[in-house]
């Protein structure tokens, strides 16, 4: 369990916080959470306490904010994270098939990580790519117009 | 004064008061969940929406955050308002478990009441209910999240009043729930208030859980005896037992709150060690007697000590758990009955000092409810209130031969040295509610009443005289302390005829300048500020 940020990440957090008012540091919570998640791949509870401390806010409020957003993870993830959009257009165009295919292929449930630690399957709310439905996000990249076959190719490329 | 209109009625704008409050002042009830007068208003529950017309535009606005303006038209009973209330109720009930038969809140639940008044008579929801967990969130508090309607009053309480911010608002949509940070439970001495302000049965007091159906409870308005703040409380009783204490609103004292120490501090009232009968004799030789015999015995012994050693050989130790009325009669017993002697006041100061919270609410270091009243009245009646050292010294040096220990303190313990001194006395009369070392040493025991078993007034730290009302009978033969003191004074030659604590206050008002205008009627339910002494 990591309990301290690297000096680089801490400096980055401090730089972010310095852009916000001194008496309202908690306004910086989203970019700071992104910075922290970048270091560990997820935000552990102890890390969240560090964030709350840096932002001078109650830990329960920081945890509440973090839990609102699906892009922050509170447990370690696989090497790659596949987020399948589960909002209207994508569902109509076959997102459910993608999820079933991935469950079968990786032998995991949604929010599970494959046994080899390579892939985490997650759902996402609208990722703003309706014109390319069904769309998914793998790590930080968006992929459109997917089918199970196209998904297999993509995953093979990344593997 | 500028005016605006509520349901066609022209009403005055009160500075700082919102539409919901002014409507309530004019007996127009606007239902609400998230709004609480002691907290900020997020306007998130949408139950208090009313139609407002201003500057030619008309729309639905939350009345809890809307401040009125000259010429504003507010309508609270239009079709649009009613349709919104019904819709909000329907949404709130979608995932609500409807386990009212086993819910502590049933009978005093705003979800039940508003559902009855503003909701539909059936549910259109046929899907599975989303079920949230039951959680232990603190020493005194449970959270049954499935009943929660996410009004966030509890979260705001911890942010704004206790200033401890242990509660947060987690997840979103249907998964939205109130929770603590993992491993960091609610750890503040005001936590019980979150149970009071929860409009539904989500936050529950562990001590009250499943103990009573609230419709069986009877109430007495009283004052918390736990410290000198003197929080206004309501005592809920049934079948000769207290079941809970809850705060009554009083902006001059405790706002809407009380601390957990006071809320859960009444256990001693029903302790197995309650003194039930007057007794004469020490240790194993204690005999139960009738009140008349006990009082007569005390008189005889006091007269004997006085005859042999003079009135100055008699001392009294008063407790600041006694009411103003009782302090007065205790003083009179010495000044008029015994005709001298020494009175001292037992100290109940705790070493923790005053404990103040973000909102200013303070748990005071003086853990007794009436130190100020005791000091003021005793000194007016007997002249000087001695320090307790004078009494202990007098006993050790043999100058004081008889001691009246009046009005116990459930938290007080005498030191070994003090108990040794007490053993030297020719006469030790103990009036208390709980048996203990000292009552076993006493030559005469006079069982008194706990705060909920007697009427009277306490003066809080700020000089506010506040009424407590009896909600229970004292157990066994125990009696209200003021009755014991009246009879004792009369046995010693006084001629008191009062039959109620209120009549005793009439005498206090005549004798003590600062209490001149104090009557039980004037003190009302919220107390009255007494004039500064002198």
B167 in reach of chain A (CB within 8 A): yes
What is the number of H-type helices and E-type strands within chain A? 7, 4
In chain B, what residues touch A46 (CB-CB under 8 Å)? Answer: none
Question: Nearest to residue B381, comparing CAs of B427, B428, B322?
Answer: B322
Q: State the average pLDDT over residues A95-117.
A: 95
Which residues does B245 contact at the CB level (< 8 Å), separation at least 6? B224, B233, B234, B235, B236, B258, B262, B263, B266
CA distance, residue B178 to nearest chain A CA (Å): 9
Q: Where are the alpha helices (DSSP H) in A18-147?
A: 29-40, 45-54, 59-68, 88-92, 95-106
CA distance, residue B342 to nearest chain A CA (Å): 55
Smallest Cβ–Cβ distance between B165 and the set A60, A67, A68 belongs to: A60
Whole-number pLDDT of residue A140:
86
Q: Do A63 and B166 touch (CB under 8 A)?
A: no
With 60 as the cut, is the pLDDT of residue B445 above it? Answer: yes
Higher pLDDT, B349 or B260: B260
Whole-number pLDDT of residue B531:
74
CA distance, residue B74 to nearest chain A CA (Å): 36
With 80 as the cut, is the pLDDT of residue B210 above it? Answer: yes
Strand order in the sheet with A119-124: A119-124, A80-85, A136-138, A141-143
B116 in reach of chain A (CB within 8 A): no
| Domain boundaries B3-77, corresponding CATH code | 3.10.20.740
Q: Do B165 and A58 touch (CB under 8 A)?
A: yes
Whole-number pLDDT of residue B409:
78
Whole-number pLDDT of residue B534:
44
Q: Average pLDDT, whole number, for chain B?
A: 96
Q: State the average pLDDT over residues A74-94.
A: 94
Q: Do B180 and A68 touch (CB under 8 A)?
A: no
B83 in reach of chain A (CB within 8 A): no
* Domain extent listing, chain A: 7-68, 80-158
Q: Which residue of A has its CA nearest to B179?
A: A60
Q: Could you say which residues from 11 to 70 on chain A have a Cβ atom under 8 Å away from some Cβ of chain B?
A: 45, 48-49, 58-64, 67-68
Model pLDDT for residues B227-281, shown as the tens digit of each residue: 999 999 999 999 999 999 999 999 999 999 999 999 999 999 999 999 999 999 9
In chain B, what residues touch A44 (CB-CB under 8 Å)? Answer: none
With 90 as the cut, is the pLDDT of residue A89 above it? Answer: yes
B231 within 8 A of B258, measured Cβ to Cβ: yes
Q: Do B166 and A45 touch (CB under 8 A)?
A: no
pLDDT band per the 50, 70, 90 thresholds, residue B284 = confident
What are the E-state strand segments in B23-147? 49-54, 57-62, 73-75, 134-136, 141-144
Q: Do B168 and A68 touch (CB under 8 A)?
A: no
Q: Do A67 and B165 touch (CB under 8 A)?
A: no
B166 in reach of chain A (CB within 8 A): yes
With 90 as the cut, is the pLDDT of residue B471 above it? Answer: yes
Which residues does B328 contact at the CB level (< 8 Å), separation at least 6? B377, B381, B504, B507, B508, B511, B512
- d(C-alpha A99, C-alpha B498), whole Å: 84
Q: Do B184 and A64 touch (CB under 8 A)?
A: no
CA distance, residue B187 to nearest chain A CA (Å): 13
According to CATH, the topology of domain B279-354+368-460+475-528 is: Rossmann fold (3.40.50)
Pairs across A and B, CB distance < 8 A: 40
Question: Nearest to residue A31, comparing CAs of A47, A23, A20, A46?
Answer: A20
At which residue do the structure tokens 């609610």 appear?
B186
In chain B, what residues touch A64 (CB-CB under 8 Å)? Answer: 168-170, 179
With 90 as the cut, is the pLDDT of residue A159 above it? Answer: no
B281 within 8 A of B216, measured Cβ to Cβ: no
To the nearest 10 degrees (0 to 180), the angle between helices A29-40 and A7-17 is 170
Architecture of domain A80-158: 3-Layer(aba) Sandwich (3.40)
| Domain boundaries A7-68, corresponding CATH code | 1.10.10
pLDDT band per the 50, 70, 90 thresholds, residue B532 = low
In chain B, what residues touch A48 (CB-CB under 8 Å)? Answer: 181
With 80 as the cut, is the pLDDT of residue A3 above it? Answer: no
Chain A interface mutation, best of B152, B182, B185, B191, highest count of A Cβ atoms under 10 Å: B182
Chain B interface mutation, best of A29, A64, A125, highest count of B Cβ atoms under 10 Å: A64
- d(C-alpha B233, C-alpha B254), whole Å: 9
Q: Which residue of B has its CA nearest to A57?
A: B165
Q: Do B182 and A45 touch (CB under 8 A)?
A: yes
Q: Do A59 and B181 touch (CB under 8 A)?
A: yes
In chain B, what residues touch A67 (CB-CB under 8 Å)? Answer: 170-172
B169 in reach of chain A (CB within 8 A): yes
Whole-number pLDDT of residue B410:
72
In chain A, what residues touch B171 (CB-CB under 8 Å)? Answer: 67-68
- d(C-alpha B513, C-alpha B532), whole Å: 9
B432 in reach of chain A (CB within 8 A): no
Q: What is the CA radius of gyration of chain B?
A: 28
Model pLDDT for residues B487-514, shown as the tens digit of each residue: 999 999 999 999 999 999 999 999 999 9
In chain B, what residues touch A123 (CB-CB under 8 Å)? Answer: none
3-state secondary structure B336-358: HHHCCCEEEECCCECCCCCEECC
φ and ψ at residue A2, rounded to 5 degrees: -65, 135
ipTM, interface predicted TM-score of the complex: 0.88
Whole-number pLDDT of residue A2:
55
CA distance, residue B245 to nearest chain A CA (Å): 29
pTM over the 0.90 mark: yes
Model pLDDT for residues B106-129, shown as the tens digit of each residue: 999 999 999 999 999 999 999 999
Q: Which residue of B has its CA nearest to A69?
A: B171
Whole-number pLDDT of residue B428:
97
Smallest Cβ–Cβ distance between B168 and the set A45, A49, A63 belongs to: A63
CA distance, residue A67 to nearest chain B CA (Å): 5
Model pLDDT for residues B380-418, shown as the tens digit of each residue: 999 999 999 999 999 999 999 999 999 987 777 889 999
Q: Which residue of B has its CA nearest to A46?
A: B182
Q: Do A59 and B184 touch (CB under 8 A)?
A: yes
B358 in reach of chain A (CB within 8 A): no
B124 in reach of chain A (CB within 8 A): no
Model pLDDT for residues B456-465, shown as the tens digit of each residue: 999 999 999 9
């Amino acid at each position: 369990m990591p309990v301290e940020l690297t000096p680089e990440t801490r400096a980055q957090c401090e730089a972010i916080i310095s852009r916000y008012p001194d008496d309202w540091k908690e306004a910086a919570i989203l970019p700071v959470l992104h910075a922290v998640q970048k270091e560990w791949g997820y935000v552990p509870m102890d890390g969240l306490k560090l964030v709350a401390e840096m932002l001078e806010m109650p830990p329960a409020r920081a945890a509440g904010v973090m839990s609102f957003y699906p892009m922050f993870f509170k447990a370690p993830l696989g090497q790659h994270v596949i987020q399948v959009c589960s909002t209207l257009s994508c569902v109509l165009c076959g997102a459910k098939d993608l999820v079933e295919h991935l469950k079968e292929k990786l032998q995991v449930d949604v929010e599970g990580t494959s046994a080899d630690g390579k892939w985490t399957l997650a759902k996402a709310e609208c990722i703003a790519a309706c014109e390319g439905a069904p769309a998914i996000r793998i790590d930080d990249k968006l992929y459109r117009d997917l089918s199970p076959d196209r998904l297999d190719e993509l995953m093979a490329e990344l593997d | 004064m500028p005016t605006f209109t509520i349901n066609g009625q022209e009403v005055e704008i009160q500075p700082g008061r919102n539409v919901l409050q002014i409507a309530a002042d004019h007996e127009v009830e606007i239902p609400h969940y998230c709004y609480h007068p002691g907290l900020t208003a997020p306007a998130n529950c949408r139950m208090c929406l009313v139609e407002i017309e201003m500057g030619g535009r008309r729309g639905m606005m939350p009345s809890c955050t809307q401040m009125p303006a000259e010429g504003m038209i507010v309508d609270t009973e239009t079709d649009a308002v009613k349709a919104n209330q019904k819709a909000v109720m329907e949404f709130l009930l979608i995932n609500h478990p409807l386990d009212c038969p086993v819910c502590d809140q049933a009978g005093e639940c705003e979800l039940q009441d508003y559902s009855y008044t503003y909701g539909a008579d059936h549910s259109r929801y046929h899907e599975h209910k989303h079920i949230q967990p039951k959680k232990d969130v603190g020493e005194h508090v449970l959270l049954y999240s499935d009943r929660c309607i996410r009004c966030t009053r509890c979260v705001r309480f911890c942010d704004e009043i206790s200033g401890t911010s242990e509660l947060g608002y987690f997840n979103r949509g249907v998964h939205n729930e109130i929770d603590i940070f993992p491993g960091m439970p609610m750890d503040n001495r005001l936590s019980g208030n979150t149970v009071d302000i929860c409009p539904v049965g989500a936050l529950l007091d562990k001590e009250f859980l499943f103990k009573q159906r609230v419709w069986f409870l009877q109430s007495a308005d009283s004052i918390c005896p736990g410290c000198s703040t003197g929080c206004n409380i309501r005592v809920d009783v049934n079948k000769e037992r207290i079941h809970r204490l809850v705060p009554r609103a009083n902006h001059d004292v405790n706002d809407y709150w009380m601390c957990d120490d006071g809320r859960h501090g009444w256990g001693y009232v029903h302790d197995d060690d309650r003194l039930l009968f007057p007794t004469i004799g020490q240790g194993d030789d204690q005999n139960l007697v009738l009140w008349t015999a006990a009082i007569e015995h005390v008189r005889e012994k006091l007269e004997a000590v006085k005859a042999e050693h003079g009135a100055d050989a008699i001392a009294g130790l008063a407790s600041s758990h006694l009411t103003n009325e009782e302090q007065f009669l205790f003083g009179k017993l010495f000044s008029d009955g015994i005709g001298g002697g020494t009175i001292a006041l037992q100290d109940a100061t705790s070493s923790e000092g005053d404990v103040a919270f973000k909102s200013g609410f303070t748990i005071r270091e003086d853990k007794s409810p009436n130190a100020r009243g005791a000091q003021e009245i005793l000194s007016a009646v007997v002249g000087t209130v001695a320090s307790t050292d004078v009494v202990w010294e007098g006993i050790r040096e043999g100058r004081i031969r008889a001691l009246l220990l009046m009005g116990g303190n459930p938290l007080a313990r005498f030191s070994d040295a003090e108990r040794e001194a007490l053993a030297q006395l020719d006469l030790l009369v103990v009036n208390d509610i709980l048996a203990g070392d000292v009552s076993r040493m006493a030559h005469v025991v006079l069982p008194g009443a706990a705060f909920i078993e007697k009427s009277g007034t306490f003066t809080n730290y700020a000089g506010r005289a506040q009424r407590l009302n009896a909600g229970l009978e004292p157990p066994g033969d125990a009696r209200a302390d003021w009755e014991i003191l009246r009879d004792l004074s009369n046995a010693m030659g006084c001629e008191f005829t009062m039959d109620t604590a209120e009549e005793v206050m009439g005498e206090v008002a005549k004798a003590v300048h600062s209490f001149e205008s104090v009557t039980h009627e004037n003190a009302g339910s919220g107390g009255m500020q007494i004039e500064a002494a002198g």
